[in-house]
Structure 1
Amino acid sequence: MLEINKNYVLDKNQKAIAVQIPIAEFEKIEEILEDYGLGKLIEEVENDETLSKQEALKYLKLIKNNNVES
């Protein structure tokens, strides 16, 4: 489990209103969330239509030549 070193920001009544974390830990959290989101996207589309290698290369060439909306 990722250990998060947090510092609480308090208002004048000593009520916690925000949290500060080191940037490296924030970037790690972002990476974890992006990986999770990518995994969910892969799960959603794994039964969708797939292209053969040749079809994919042809489509990529069309995109690079701006002949298809990406």
Structure 2
Amino acid sequence: MLEIHKNIVLDENQQPIAVQIPIAEFEKIEEILEDYGLAKLIEQSENEERLSKEEALKYYNSLKGNYVEN
């Protein structure tokens, strides 16, 4: 399991308001979520129309460009 090193940010009343994590761990979490989402999308679309490899790659790259820095 992914170990997350977190720092809790408190307000002036010592109430937690945010969490800081190292960027490398954040990027790993993003990758895991993206992979999970892609797997779920594939699972849901098993009975739907299939895309060619080229169409799928083009679509994936369009998503990646909108949500993930290249």
Give the structure-1-normalised TM-score.
0.70
Structure 1 unmatched ranges of 5 or more: 61-70
Aligned to 1:37: 37
Moved over 6 A (4+): none
Q: How far apart are the structure 2 equivalents of 1:4 and 1:31?
A: 14
Structure 2 unmatched ranges of 5 or more: 56-70
Give the structure-2-normalised TM-score.
0.70
Q: CA RMSD in A?
A: 2.3
Comparing 14-23 with 42-51, which one deviates more in the overlay? 42-51
Equivalent residues in 2 for 1:28-67 (5 A)? 28-50=28-50, 56=52
Q: How far apart are the structure 2 equivalents of 1:49 and 1:31?
A: 26
Aligned to 2:24: 24
Aligned to 1:5: 5
Aligned to 2:59: none
Q: How far apart are the structure 1 equivalents of 2:49 and 2:3?
A: 40
Tell me the percent identity.
Answer: 75
Q: How far apart are the structure 2 equivalents of 1:22 and 1:41?
A: 29
Q: How far apart are the structure 1 equivalents of 2:20 and 2:33?
A: 18
Aligned to 1:65: none
1:8: how far off?
Answer: 0.5
